[in-house]
Amino acid sequence: MQRRHWMILAAAAATATTTTGVQAQVADLSDAINKAGRQRMLSQRMGKAWLALVHQPANANAQLVLDRSMALFDRQLVELKAYTPTSEIRDTYLKLEDVWSGYKTTLVGTAPNRSGARAVLDADAKVLALAHQGTVQYETALNRPAGKLVNVAGRQRMLSQRMAKFYFAAMLPVDGPVANAEIVKSRTEFLIAMDLLRNAPQATDRIRSELQVADGQWIFFDQALKNMQTPGANARALSDVFVTSENLLSVMDRVTGMYAAITT
């Protein structure tokens, strides 16, 4: 059990590092879609990490994920605000900057606790909505088939974190029925999108190989989520959801980058 515990911490810490290794500025519209979509993911990842700290206040890995996600969101927001080819996109990111300020205050204003969970869920929903709006606007500006694939692949990252976030919410419980319904909805959307990415004409052999890796990670993640139905779910179950969601995120981040590199 001790060996397994340390393996879990090492895997999650490695994932936390890989998902922050991004370019220092927006290179083009495909890269903008990728980074805008990553902001969607980060909105949910921060909520997941904060809720994990409610369950386990001394969880060093959750704190690391929260801190790095907040820093990455700040950095990418600056980059995206500097790359706004239309007035509509510029307006979206000015609004996002405002709601992000409120969300950040909610995340760091008090130590994670059950009574503050509702406010975190409300705040991350506002950030997610505007981050998604910006992603779609960049996709429209690119106006190429590959743009949709970058958007869809990037959204898979968000769904992995959204399902984990609602798992932690349901286990508190906070809005249990809503959280369960959101997990079911996100699971369905995730599987449909995997088929779309796998069967896309633009999918290279390398992309399909990574998607196979994602399929394997999905099995572990989905099983961890289903343990919510097991009476007496414990710290190990919570850790499994956290780690498997991070592992799935890591793979889908690579897939998104591969689609973003396609120029047709």
Residue 67 in tokens: 């801190």
d(CA 256, CA 218) in angstroms, rounded, equals: 16
- Cα Rg, the chain, nearest whole Å: 17
- pLDDT over 90 for what percent of the chain? 83
63 contacts 19 by C-beta, under 8 angstroms: no
Q: Give percent helix, percent strand, percent coil of the chain, each to the nearest 5.
A: 85, 0, 15
pLDDT(198) > 90:
yes
Q: How much is the pLDDT for 226?
A: 87
Q: Give the model confidence (pLDDT) of 58-96 as tens digits.
A: 899 999 999 999 999 999 999 999 999 999 999 999 999
Amino acid letter at 103?
A: Y
Q: Where are the beta strands (DSSP E) in the chain?
A: none
